[in-house]
Amino acid sequence: MGASFSSCVCDGDVSPLRPRLEDIPESCVALVLMYLDPPDICKLARLNRAFHDASLADFIWESKLPLNYKFIMEKALKDTTSVAKLGKRDIYARLCMPNLFDNETKEVWLDKRTGGVCLAISSKALRITGIDDRRYWNRISTEESRFHSVAYLHQIWWLEVEGDIDFQFPPGTYSVFFRLQLGRSSKRLGRRVCKIEDIHGWDIKPVKFQLTTSDGQHTVSHTHLDNPGHWILYHAGNFVSKNPNDLMKIKFSLTQIDCTHTKGGLCVDSVFICNSSVRKEV
């Protein structure tokens, strides 16, 4: 009898049913996707229609958005009314794009992988001692800056660069960096060249970085500037945010106040603030 049953199944025209990806309920797929990183969700969404439809679920992307994403939208997006009508996935994608604010001197975006908040502050938004005196400083247009210009120091005795920002930071640890380069880069015959002849004074004493927050956090560090011709992210310090609804004021500075020698040949591009989980790129 057993042999007869086996013959009936195997030799007949009817194939045994096998489960397929399309057979998995969309709600189950969505629950699985919620535990993945955004890039992996997007990759799986290309598998078939079921995975694509499941990847659109708002609750998936709600968990990826920072707690203060509405504050970021109001801060950086011009047409918040139309953006608010979008699904959470599209809002996430929109916030992962660079969004300029404060007269296009600052930029905010989300890291695509982690959803961590990142900020960039142009040299135009920094207070630089002597910036209006061309004997000391010049504004230089360049494609090497996300803001398309940098402040270039010819020579000065008293280096002082300060800045601040008021922002709601989601809970986490954040790092602050100054993006600097020794030397003035340009293009010649389509190739990048860097003028390093004017670099001087940085090997005598280190520069001083300071970071202060409105809730009392404070860090100080000293670093020698080096590696001419390359953009470097110099770590100014870390701070911790605990309440996403609190408006925190961050103050940061770069100084080398020593009138025993001059220093020059420095490009100041911007200041970066990013969640510590975000990979730092120059």
Write down the mean pLDDT value for the chain: 89
- Whether residue 15 has pLDDT greater than 60: no
For the segment 102-155, what is each residue's pLDDT rounded down to a tens digit? 999 999 999 999 999 999 999 999 999 999 999 999 999 999 999 999 999 999
Contact (Cβ atoms closer than 8 angstroms) between residue 159 and residue 145:
no
> What confidence score (pLDDT) does residue 228 get?
96
Q: What pLDDT is attached to residue 109?
A: 96
Asked if 244 contacts 67 with a C-beta cutoff of 8 angstroms, the reply is yes
- Residues facing 14 on adjacent strands: none
pLDDT of residue 28: 85
What's the predicted TM-score (pTM) here? 0.86
Residue 262 has pLDDT above 50, yes or no: yes
pLDDT band (50, 70, 90) for residue 258: confident
Residue 218's contacts (CB-CB under 8 Å, 6 or more residues apart) are: 210, 211, 212
Rounded Cα distance between 85 and 77, Å, is: 13
Instruction: Output helix, strand, coil percentages for the chain, rounded to the nearest 5.
Output: 20, 35, 40
